[in-house]
């Protein structure tokens, strides 16, 4: 028996990421502008960058892990790679 695999959509991924909150501001990481360079690659691989202020970089690994976990549960996602970049200037 064959089942049709759901096609990944950028809106679905951004919706999942919007459920992840920046622990300092309380804002979701999408509306805070932290999610950049979202790509949906062949085979269900999702890649994106989380941009944070340089001073906060070392403490943001749990946020990166939470973002990966939020996307990993979506149907059709096989692998998630979130890259933490601590170069963003304070807003």
pLDDT one-digit tens code per residue, 39-79: 999 999 999 999 999 888 889 999 999 999 999 999 999 99
Provide the percentage of residues in the chain whose pLDDT is more than 90.
78
pLDDT band of residue 31 (cuts 50, 70, 90) is very high
Give pLDDT, residue 90. Answer: 55
Q: Cα–Cα distance between 10 and 90 in angstroms, integer?
A: 27
Q: Is the per-residue pLDDT at 35 higher than 70?
A: yes
Q: Cα–Cα distance between 69 and 62 in angstroms, integer?
A: 10
Q: Cα–Cα distance between 20 and 88 in angstroms, integer?
A: 19
Give pLDDT, residue 2. Answer: 41
Are 22 and 60 contacting, i.e. CB atoms less than 8 angstroms apart? no
Q: From residue 63, give the alpha-carbon distance in Å to each of 5, 11, 50, 58, 60.
A: 29, 20, 9, 11, 5
Half-sphere exposure of 36 (CA within 13 A, CB side): 12
Q: Is the per-residue pLDDT at 5 higher than 70?
A: no
Q: In 1-91, where does DSSP find H-type helix?
A: 10-17, 61-72
């Amino acid at each position: 028996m064959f089942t049709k695999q759901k096609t990944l959509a950028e809106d679905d991924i951004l919706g999942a990421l919007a459920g992840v909150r920046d622990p300092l501001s309380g804002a979701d990481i999408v509306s805070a502008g932290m999610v950049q360079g979202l790509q949906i690659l062949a085979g269900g691989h999702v890649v994106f960058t989380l941009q944070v202020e340089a001073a906060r970089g070392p403490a943001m690994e749990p946020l990166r892990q939470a973002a990966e976990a939020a996307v990993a549960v979506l149907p059709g996602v096989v692998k998630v790679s979130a890259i933490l970049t601590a170069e963003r200037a304070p807003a």
